[in-house]
Amino acid sequence: MTDDEIQTFTGSAETIGVRGRVMASARQRHFLIDATSKRDGLEPECPNAGEIFLTSLSGCAAIILNSEAAKREIAPFHAKITTHGHRRTSVPNKFTSIEMDFELSGVSQKLAEELVGVFQDQCPIYDIAVSGLGVSVKVTAVG
Question: Per residue in 59-81, pLDDT tens?
Answer: 999 999 999 999 999 999 999 99
Average pLDDT in the 105-130 region?
94
SS3 content of the chain, % helix, strand, coil (to 5): 35, 30, 35
pLDDT computed for residue 15 by the predictor = 93
**Within 10 Å of residue 89's Cβ, how many Cβ atoms?**
7
Looking at residue 112, what is its pLDDT?
96
Task: Measure Cα distances from 43 to 15, 91, 106, 120, 122 in Å.
Answer: 18, 20, 40, 34, 36
Q: According to CATH, what is the number of the domain 49-142?
A: 3.30.300.20
Burial class for 45, CB neighbours closer than 10 Å (0-12, 13-18, 19+): exposed
Q: What DSSP line would sit under 24-41, residue for residue?
A: EEETTEEEEEEPPHHHHS
pLDDT of residue 133: 67
Domain boundaries, the chain: 1-47, 49-142
